[in-house]
Structure formats: C-alpha cells, structure tokens
Amino acid sequence: MNNLILSTFDVISNSTSTTNTSALYIGNCLLVDPDGYPYVEWMYNLMGQCVHSPLEQSSFYVGLGSLALYIVSGIPQVIENFMKGNADGLSPYTLAMFIIGDSSNLLGAILTRQLFTQILLAIYFVTIEVILISQFLFYKLKALWKRRKHKGQEQLHDEEDDKASSANTSAIVSAAVDTHSCTSMTCTPLEEHNNEFLSDSEQQPHHENGLMSLKGNVNSTRTVSLLVLLMVFFYLMFTMNHSSNNLNIPQQHNEQQTGRRLLSNHEDEISTTKDHNSVQFPPVATEAIIGYTIGFISTTCSIGSRIAQIIKNFMKGTYGMNPLLFGCSVFGNILYSSSIFLFSVNGSFLLYKIPWLTSSLVNICLDSFIIAQYIYFTFIKKKQPQLENQKTLENSEKSKLEIQNEERIENKLKDLEV
C-alpha cells in the first residue's frame, strides 16, 4: 500500500470502559471541558472524537490530513503494478508484514466494538493489502506459466530436430543400402513412401505429449489463480459480515481518531481537573490492553516492513516500486506525530502513545531512506555507465592527442638533426 502504511494516527481523545451517566457527559465525552470549551458535536457524532479546544480541533484536522495521505498512498503502487505487468517492486516480506499489521487492527476494531466508520477504514486498508498480494501472486504465477510454456516449446523443438536428424540419417543409410542391394525391379517408390510415413507417425506421439503437458500447465495455473481470487472474495465477505453485524451492537462511542491505529483506546476515567486529557498508564481495562497490544504488533510490523524493503532494494534495486507509497508515508507520519503533540503533552498521554509515536518517528527516517534509494537507483546509478563511457572517450581522445604531439616532437627533432 500500501501499504500500505501502518503508521496512521490513532485515538487522540479519552474514553472510559463504561458509559458515564453524569449529566456533564454525553457518552464518555465532557459536554464542556474545564477551560469552558464545549465539545464539537459533529466530530463526536461522525468520528467519535471528543474534541473541545481550538488546539484539539487543530489536532483533529491535522490528523485528517494524515489519514488522507494514508488512504491514497497505496493506490499509485497498485496502478504501477498494472502498468508494468509485475509486482516485484515491493518485497514479499514487506507485503506480509503489511497484511499482518492491518489485519490485527481490523480484528481488534471488531473485538472492541469500534465505530462503523473506523471499521470501514480498517477494511479499506486490508483490501488494499489484499489487492497488492493478489497482484504479486498473479504475476508470479503468470511468469511461471510463461517459463514452463517456453521450456515446453524448446523441448518440442529439440525433439523435432532430433527426430528430423534421425530420419535424415536413416533415409541416407537406407538409400545407400538400396543403392547397393536393390535392383530396379525389386525396389519400388511405394516402399520409400511407407518409410517416410513411418517416420512421420513416430514423431506424432511426441508432439501430442508436448501439447498435453502444455495444456496441463495452463489448467493448473488457472486453477491456482481461481483459488486465490476465491480466497480474496471470501475474506472480504467475512470482514464485511463482521462489520455489518457490528452495526447492531450498541456503540459505546469509544472516542478515537480514525486511521490505521484504530485501537489506542484510552480506557481511563476522564479527570475533571485542568488537564482532563491525562490517561491511566499502564492500561488496566481490557479494551485498553487489547488496543495497546495491537499497537505494539502494528509498530513491529510497520518497522519490519521498511527494513525488509530496504534490504530488497539493496539486493535487486527499486524497479517497480512507486515512491509515492513511501512519500505519502513520510508526510503522513509527520502530520500524525504533530497531531499527537498538538492534542496534549501530558506525560501519561504520551507514554500511552509510545507504540504509535515510535512507529511514526522511526518510519519517517526509514521511508526517507527508501526514497533516497529510489533516487539513487533510478537517476544516479543509471547515469554512471554513461559517465564512465564519456570518461573513456575523453581519455582515448587525450591519448590520441598525446601520441600526435609526441609524433610532432619526434618529427621536429629529426628535421633539426637533418
């Protein structure tokens, strides 16, 4: 994604494990914070965000910008794969870690009964990963089928050449024998025709066997491709079924920002003190523990996916990799980190954000390095042979001039001696 980038912004507002029944709250959100700022109703109703002050609102909008970058980041890579007819730009280990991280987010969102919009976003990111993996498998199977087909054709040509050479040899030998042993009364053209017919009939079974093997390869490849498509279809149906069932479950309005870190739930009591954004750390509530655990899983997969991609780029180059995937990740992570610090600098709040902050800040560096690799392999390394050729030409021209100068000096010396 594509993807998928795993470092999207998570929850930036607090929630409790049980709905607060106080008249000061709507769900788990304070109607008015200690500074006198009312909650923003549309943010709460649409996104489940408990946002009050202008600084918190700016954090929300910055987070939306981060989310927009993550949503579009995987699309250029999907298009790149279709345009070039291969999906070798991303490491298979990178794709595997992408899908593990996003699937864990989706599973956690369903288990902890998150908002339907957040589950839809999780499904979207998983769908992008599934598309990328399907492209990878499809083009790998297609390349394998082409290699087998080419190999089968080569074997058929080799067998035909062998049969033709053996037939020519037998014809020459038989002709030589007929010349010495047969007379014009005993050797007939019919016998020669029968010999040619036998040689052709000997070649026919081998040709049919080659065609049958090619048909078998085609059928097996189609079967595998069909199975992959069916797996993708049933997987999407399964996730959509779970998310639709979630609509019938009463929502607890666990306030959290939309994004790929959908599960950094703040299962803590909102304080009515000045710093009402303080959270309980380490988390104690079940949903908070689940969210925090999945946060670490996502962070591990996110950082590991970048390391796998860097190793792949060193070994095979960056052909087929769209830089927008990681470029959007860089700017998305910058916005995401900024949204956290804009919302609150409370110590417990930042400690709770350690998994996601670590993922964002580390991935900014790793993604920047991947982009630097792309620039090097695409623009710098390709020009090196041209520069070397220019240098060799310049050196050859210099050597020619030096030889000509030496010849001129020698001729002048000879003229002086004469």
For the chain, 418 residues long, give each residue's pLDDT as a single digit of tens: 544 333 343 443 443 344 555 678 787 788 888 888 898 888 888 777 888 889 989 988 998 899 899 999 999 999 999 999 989 999 999 999 999 988 988 888 787 777 777 788 889 999 999 999 999 999 999 988 888 877 767 667 666 666 666 666 665 656 555 555 544 444 444 444 444 444 444 444 444 554 454 455 445 444 444 454 455 444 544 544 444 444 443 343 343 443 444 444 433 433 444 455 666 677 777 877 888 888 889 899 999 999 999 999 999 999 999 999 999 999 999 999 998 898 888 888 888 888 888 989 999 999 999 999 999 999 888 776 665 666 666 667 767 777 777 777 777 777 777 6
How confident is the model at residue 75, as a pLDDT?
93
What pLDDT shows up at residue 77?
Answer: 94
Confidence at residue 334, expressed as pLDDT on a 0 to 100 scale: 94
What was the pLDDT predicted at 11? 40
Q: Is residue 301 part of a domain?
A: yes
Tell me, what's the pLDDT at 28?
74
Tokens at 363, concatenated: 């991935």
Q: CA 357 to CA 11: how far, in whole Å? A: 12
Distance, CA of 139 to CA of 82 (rounded, Å): 10
Residue 215, in any domain of the structure: no
Task: Give the pLDDT confidence score for residue 139 in this predicted structure.
Answer: 93
Task: Classify the phi-psi angles of 33: left when phi > 0, otherwise alpha if psi is within -120 to 50, otherwise beta.
Answer: beta
Helical axes 323-343 vs 354-375, angle rounded to 10°: 150
Question: Does residue 367 form part of some domain?
Answer: yes
Strand partners, 26: 29
Position 234 in a domain: yes
Containing structural domain, residue 330: 25-142+229-390
Beta-carbon count within 10 A of 94 CB: 26
Q: Report yes or no on 162 lying in a domain.
A: no
| Residue 413 domain-assigned (yes or no) | no
3-state class of 334 per DSSP? helix
Q: Does the residue 198 lie in any domain?
A: no
**pTM exceeds 0.85:** no
Compute φ and ψ for 32, nearest 5 degrees.
Answer: -135, 130
pLDDT score of 418: 64
SS3 assignment, position 29? strand
Q: Helices 189-246 and 92-111 meet at what angle, rounded to 10?
A: 30
Q: According to the model, what pLDDT value does residue 309 have?
A: 96
How many domains would you assign to the chain? Answer: 1
Q: Using CA atoms, how far apart are residues 86 and 270, in angstroms rounded to an integer?
A: 51
Residue 207 lies in a domain: no
